[in-house]
Chains A and B, each alone.
Chain A
Amino acid sequence: MRSLYIHIPFCQQKCYYCDFCSFVCSDDTQQKYVDKLIEELKFKGTKEQLKSVFIGGGTPSCLSENLIAKIMTAVSTYFEINETTEITIECNPNSLNEQKLKAYKCAGINRLSLGVQSLNEKILKTIGRIHTCKEFYQIAPLIQKYFSNFNFDIMIGLPNQTNFDVVDTIKKLMQFSPTHISMYSLILEENTKLFNQVQNNEIKLPLNDDVVDQYIIGLNTLKEFGFYRYEISNFCKKGYESKHNLNYWECGEYYGVGVSAHSYLNNERFSNTNNLIDYINCKNFEPFFKEKLTSKELIEERIMLGLRTEKGLNISKLKQNLNYDILKEKGDVIQNLLDNKFVKIEENHLKICEDKFYVSNSIIEKLI
Chain B
Amino acid sequence: MDNRQKYIRNFCIVAHIDHGKSTLADRMLELTQTVAKRDMEEQILDSMDLERERGITIKLTPTRMKYNYKGHEYTLNLIDTPGHVDFTYEVSRSLASCEGAILVVDATQGVEAQTLSNVYLALENDLEIVPVINKVDLPSARVDDVIKEIEDSIGLPAKDAPLISAKEGINIDKVLEAVIENIPAPSGVEDAPLRALIFDSKYDNFKGAVCIIRVVDGSVKVGSKIKLIQTGKIFDVTEVGVFSPHAKKTDSLLAGDVGYLCASIKEVADAKVGGTFTDFDADVEPLAGYKQVVPVVFSGIFPIDSNQYEELKDALEKLKLNDSSLQVQPEVSQALGFGFRCGFLGLLHMEVITERIEREFNIEVITTAPNVNYKVYKTDGQVIEISNPANLPKAVEIDHMEEPYVNLHIYLPPEYVGAIMDLCQEKRATFLDMQYVDSKRVKLTYDMPLNEIIYDFFDQLKSRSKGYGSLDYEITDYKTSDLVKLDILLNNEICDALSLIVHKDKAYARGRSIAEKLKEVIPRQMFEVPVQACIGNKVIARETIKAYRKDVLAKCYGGDITRKRKLLEKQKEGKKKMRKIGSVELPSEAFLSILKTN
- Interface stretch of the complex, out of B284-292, B382-390, B547-555: B547-555
**Of B526, B553, B559, B569, which one neighbours A300 at CB under 8 angstroms?**
B569
Scan A251-287; emit 1 where CB is below 8 A from any B CB, else 0: 0001010001111100001010000000000000000
Quick one: given A301-B561, A308-B556, are A358 and B549 in contact (CB under 8 Å)? yes
The reply to whether the CB of B572 lies closer than 8 angstroms to some CB of chain A is yes
Quick one: given A361-B568, A364-B568, A365-B571, are A269 and B561 in contact (CB under 8 Å)? yes
**Of B548, B559, B561, B564, which one neighbours A362 at CB under 8 angstroms?**
B548
B556 and A185 form a contact (CB under 8 A):
no
List of A residues within 8 angstroms of B553 by Cβ: 156-157, 183-185, 211, 215, 232-233, 358
A368 and B559 form a contact (CB under 8 A):
no
In the assembly, what is the distance between CA of A227 and CA of B556, in Å? 20
In the assembly, what is the distance between CA of A364 and CA of B565, in Å? 10
* Least Cβ–Cβ distance between A287 and chain B, in angstroms: 13
The reply to whether the CB of B575 lies closer than 8 angstroms to some CB of chain A is yes
* Least Cβ–Cβ distance between B414 and chain A, in angstroms: 44
In the assembly, what is the distance between CA of A113 and CA of B40, in Å? 71
List of B residues within 8 angstroms of A211 by Cβ: 550, 553
**Of B526, B550, B568, B575, which one neighbours A208 at CB under 8 angstroms?**
B550
Quick one: given A361-B571, A365-B568, are A184 and B548 in contact (CB under 8 Å)? no
Residue of B nearest to A336 (CB): B583
B 519-555 contacts with A by CB, 8 A: 526-527, 548-555
A 313-356 contacts with B by CB, 8 A: 336, 340, 342
A362 and B565 form a contact (CB under 8 A):
no
In the assembly, what is the distance between CA of A187 and CA of B583, in Å? 29
In the assembly, what is the distance between CA of A365 and CA of B527, in Å? 16
The reply to whether the CB of B558 lies closer than 8 angstroms to some CB of chain A is yes
* Least Cβ–Cβ distance between A290 and chain B, in angstroms: 10
The reply to whether the CB of A135 lies closer than 8 angstroms to some CB of chain B is no
B572 and A182 form a contact (CB under 8 A):
no
The reply to whether the CB of A5 lies closer than 8 angstroms to some CB of chain B is yes
The reply to whether the CB of A137 lies closer than 8 angstroms to some CB of chain B is no
The reply to whether the CB of A245 lies closer than 8 angstroms to some CB of chain B is yes
In the assembly, what is the distance between CA of A291 and CA of B555, in Å? 21
Interface size on A, residues (CB 8 A): 46
Quick one: given A301-B565, A304-B564, A365-B575, are A248 and B558 in contact (CB under 8 Å)? yes
The reply to whether the CB of B33 lies closer than 8 angstroms to some CB of chain A is no
A261 and B561 form a contact (CB under 8 A):
no
The reply to whether the CB of A224 lies closer than 8 angstroms to some CB of chain B is no
A297 and B554 form a contact (CB under 8 A):
no
In the assembly, what is the distance between CA of A300 and CA of B565, in Å? 7
Scan B50-70; emit 1 where CB is below 8 A from any A CB, else 0: 000000000000000000000
**Of A157, A232, A304, A342, which one neighbours B565 at CB under 8 angstroms?**
A304
Quick one: given A361-B568, A361-B571, A365-B568, are A184 and B551 in contact (CB under 8 Å)? no
List of A residues within 8 angstroms of B575 by Cβ: 365
**Of A245, A260, A305, which one neighbours B561 at CB under 8 angstroms?**
A305
The secondary-structure label for the interface of chain B is loop
In the assembly, what is the distance between CA of A340 and CA of B525, in Å? 13
A 234-260 contacts with B by CB, 8 A: 245, 248-249, 254, 256, 260
In the assembly, what is the distance between CA of A208 and CA of B548, in Å? 9
* Least Cβ–Cβ distance between B118 and chain A, in angstroms: 51
List of B residues within 8 angstroms of A297 by Cβ: 565
List of A residues within 8 angstroms of B569 by Cβ: 300, 368
A362 and B526 form a contact (CB under 8 A):
yes
The reply to whether the CB of A209 lies closer than 8 angstroms to some CB of chain B is yes
In the assembly, what is the distance between CA of A185 and CA of B552, in Å? 8
Quick one: given A342-B526, A365-B575, are A232 and B552 in contact (CB under 8 Å)? yes
Most chain B CB within a 10 A radius of its CB, from A358, A361, A368: A361
Quick one: given A212-B550, A304-B564, A368-B568, are A340 and B559 in contact (CB under 8 Å)? no
B 548-590 contacts with A by CB, 8 A: 548-559, 561-562, 564-565, 568-569, 571-572, 575, 583
List of A residues within 8 angstroms of B550 by Cβ: 185, 208-209, 211-212, 215, 358-359
A248 and B557 form a contact (CB under 8 A):
yes
In the assembly, what is the distance between CA of A364 and CA of B561, in Å? 14
The reply to whether the CB of A163 lies closer than 8 angstroms to some CB of chain B is no
A212 and B549 form a contact (CB under 8 A):
yes
Residue of A nearest to B572 (CB): A365
A359 and B526 form a contact (CB under 8 A):
yes
List of B residues within 8 angstroms of A157 by Cβ: 553
In the assembly, what is the distance between CA of A358 and CA of B548, in Å? 9
Quick one: given A300-B569, A304-B568, A365-B571, are A233 and B559 in contact (CB under 8 Å)? no
* Least Cβ–Cβ distance between B239 and chain A, in angstroms: 51
List of A residues within 8 angstroms of B526 by Cβ: 340, 342, 359, 362-363
List of B residues within 8 angstroms of A261 by Cβ: 558-559
In the assembly, what is the distance between CA of A269 and CA of B561, in Å? 9
Having A264-B561, A336-B583, A368-B572, one finds 7 other A-B pairs with CB under 8 Å, namely A5-B558, A157-B553, A264-B558, A359-B526, A363-B526, A365-B572, A365-B575
Can you show 15 pairs from A to B with CB atoms below 8 A apart?
A184-B554, A185-B554, A212-B549, A215-B553, A248-B556, A263-B558, A264-B561, A297-B565, A301-B565, A358-B551, A358-B553, A359-B550, A361-B551, A364-B568, A365-B571
Chain A to chain B: the 4 pairs with minimum beta-carbon distance, closest first: A361-B551, A185-B553, A212-B549, A361-B552
Interface residues in chain A, defined as those with a beta carbon under 8 Å from any beta carbon in chain B: 5, 156-157, 182-185, 187, 208-209, 211-212, 215, 232-233, 245, 248-249, 254, 256, 260-264, 269, 271, 291, 297, 300-301, 304-305, 308, 336, 340, 342, 358-365, 368
